[in-house]
Chains A and B, each alone.
Chain A
C-alpha cells in the first residue's frame, strides 16, 4: 500500500498570502500519468475535488489553485488565500490499488 505523507500538518496564514502544501508518496504514483488528486474539506461538508492528474483543475475550481509534481513529490499551491479557502486539504493517489489518502493539512487563519 502506498503511504501518502502530507506536510505541514497545520499551516497558519493570512488572507492574501500564498499557501504551499506538500504530499509525498512512499512509492511513485506516476506511470503514463500522475495519478494524484487533491480535495478540500470544510467543517460539516463533504470533500470537494480540486485537482486531478497532479495538475488539472476540476470543473469550477478557481485558477488560484494549482497542482504540480510527479513521481513521489507533489504540491498544491493556493496563490492568494481567500477567506473561503481556510479548510483541510487531502491528497489521494489512485495509481496503485488500494487507493489511499494523506492525513490532511489544515490551513487556518493566522
Chain B
C-alpha cells in the first residue's frame, strides 16, 4: 500500500525558512515524479512544484520561483521542499503527491495527474 507522510510544518515569521519532508513507502519511489500541492485555509488546491524521478527536471509555480527548491533523496525515499523568504500568502496545508507520468508524441514524457496524496503538513507564516 502506498503511504506518503509529510512533516516539517509549523509557525514561521515572514522572511523565514522551513524545510518540508515527505516520506514515501509502498512503491518504487525512484520511478515516479513527485509533487507538492498546497491549500490555503478554506481555499482550493494550488500546484507548487514537481520533480522528475531522478531529480534532473524541476518545475515551479511562478509565485514560488526563486524562493522554493524541490529535491529528493531516492536512497531515503524522501521528497523535500526548502522554502525561503516565506510570505503570509504561503500559509497553507502542504500536500505531497505521487505524479503519474504521461507521454505525448509532440511533447514527450511529462508529469500527469496525482494518484496518491499524503495527509499534509500545515505551514503558517505570521509574526
Interface residues of A (CB under 8 A from B): 31-33, 35, 37, 39, 41, 45-49, 52, 58, 90, 92, 94-95, 97-104
Chain A: CB-nearest residue to B35: A99
Asked whether B104 lies within 8 Å of A101 as measured between CB atoms, the reply is no
Q: B120 contacts A46, CB within 8 Å?
A: yes
Query: Is A103 touching B47 in the complex (CB atoms < 8 A)?
Result: no
With A35-B102, A52-B100 already in contact, the answer to whether A101 and B45 are too (CB < 8 A) is: yes
- Indicate if the CB atoms of A98 and B61 lie closer than 8 Å: yes
- Asked if B95 CB lies within 8 Å of chain A CBs, one says yes
For the complex of A and B, list the 7 residue pairs with the smallest distance between their C-beta atoms, beginning with the closest.
Answer: A37-B113, A46-B117, A101-B45, A52-B113, A94-B112, A99-B47, A104-B44
Which chain B residues lie closer than 8 Å to A58 at the CB level? 115
Given the complex, which residues of B lie within 8 Å of A100, measured CB to CB? 47
**Which residues of chain A come closer than 8 Å to B120, judged between CB atoms?**
46
**CB nearest neighbor in B for A1:** B62
Give the shortest distance, in Å, between A45 (CB) and chain B (any CB).
8
